[in-house]
Amino acid sequence: MSYISVDHLCKTFTVRKKREKGSFFREKETVHALKDVSFEIEKGELVGYIGPNGAGKSTTVKILSGILVPESGNVTVGGLTPWTDRKAHVRRVGVVFGQRTQLWWDVPLLDSYSLLKDIYRVPEDAYRKRLDELTEALQLGDLLRTPLRLLSLGQRMRAELCGSLLHSPELLFLDEPTIGLDAVSKLALRDFLQWENREKGTTILLTTHDMEDIAALCSRVMVLGHGEKLYDGGLQEMLLKYDTKRTVQVEEHRNIDHVIADMYRDLGL
């Protein structure tokens, strides 16, 4: 069996809308965030997960990491079901949300990390070793005594990444990790992710809108739209399949974002 196996996963949300004039009850709408999604990921893979806003990417990540409970479907990660064996599951998982901080805002990074060590029950020597390794790879050495709130976005992202990897997870979820980063920080982050994947064998699932991230990191891509999986396979094959206009308008400069936009249009998203 594969390391991650997702089988017929469904998740719905009920959205209560503002009451309309003249009607007594508020209208309720059921949103199908995920409709029967299935896929498998092997250990050590680095998979890109793309799709337009609201496609259900974050919902998938939240179910896989044990935050949300789905309506139906089976999920196992390394033999455990995330939402029933939450504590045992999250011990092996690291998650980075690009838009949200998980460290303590007003205290130096080192204090945050040391508290994380206690939360995850990491032995002292393993923690020292891992922290040294990560601070070097992420170039955090000078920042360890600075409070999080004084860091720039790029620095903060690296700090977050270090925090999520201190307990040496075997699986890492990244939800738009390069959002808002400058070119230098982006490149550094990509290098690091490649290093972590290659050296430690960490399985990585990367959610992003930045196609450069995908092109640089992932050999396999999954495309999600309206809660359904629309494509699963190699990046090159996907680009060839959907880049229909390239042959017609050779002179026009088209980057990868154009191709993706065309693809979303073709898929009716």
Partner 1 sequence: MNTLRLYGRSMAILIKSQLQYPLSFLMQTVAQLVMEGGEMLALILLIDRFDRLNQWEAGDLYFFFGLMSVSFYLTEIFGRGVTGNFPYMVRTGQLDTVLLRPRGVLTQVLCSAADPRRITCIAVGTVSLVIGSNLSQIDWTLPKILLFAESIFFSFWLILGLFMIEAILCIHSVKSVELANTLTYGGRSACEYPSDIYPRPLRILFTVIAPFALVMHVPASAILGKPLYGWPMWTAFVTPLSGLALFGIMYLLFRKAMRFYRSTGS
Stretch that binds partner 1, among 19-27, 73-81, 102-110, 181-189 (CB under 8 A): 102-110
Minimum distance from residue 247 beta carbon to partner 1 (Å):
38
> Does 18 engage in binding with partner 1 (CB under 8 A)?
no
Which among 111, 95, 107 is positioned nearest to 164, based on CA atoms?
95
Structure tokens at 131: 């922290």
120 versus 231: smaller Cβ distance to partner 1? 120
CB atoms within 10 A of CB 83: 17
Structure tokens at 231: 């494509």
> Does 240 engage in binding with partner 1 (CB under 8 A)?
no
Minimum distance from residue 120 beta carbon to partner 1 (Å):
6
> Does 231 engage in binding with partner 1 (CB under 8 A)?
no
> Does 58 engage in binding with partner 1 (CB under 8 A)?
yes
| Strand, coil or helix: 269 | coil
| Partners of residue 234 on adjacent β-strands | 220
Q: Which of 147, 230, 239, 261 is in the footprint of partner 1 by CB under 8 A?
A: 147
Stretch that binds partner 1, among 63-71, 191-199, 221-229, 236-244 (CB under 8 A): 63-71
Residues 34, 10 contacting (CB under 8 angstroms): yes
CB atoms within 10 A of CB 227: 22
Q: How far is CA 45 from CA 14, 68, 220, 269, in A?
A: 34, 24, 8, 27
Task: Give the contact letters, 72-101, x = binds to partner 1 (CB under 8 A), - = no.
Answer: --------------xxx-xx-x-x-xxxx-
Residues 90, 62 contacting (CB under 8 angstroms): no
Q: Which of 35, 36, 45, 104 is in the footprint of partner 1 by CB under 8 A?
A: 104
DSSP string spanning 125-164? HHHHHHHHHHHHHTT-GGGTTSBGGGS-HHHHHHHHHHHH
b (16+ CB within 10 A) / e for 192-205: bbeebbeeeebbbb
> Does 105 engage in binding with partner 1 (CB under 8 A)?
yes
> Does 109 engage in binding with partner 1 (CB under 8 A)?
no
> Does 107 engage in binding with partner 1 (CB under 8 A)?
yes
Site for partner 1, rule CB under 8 A: 13, 58, 62, 65-69, 86-88, 90-91, 93, 95, 97-100, 102, 104-107, 111-112, 114-115, 118-121, 147, 175-176
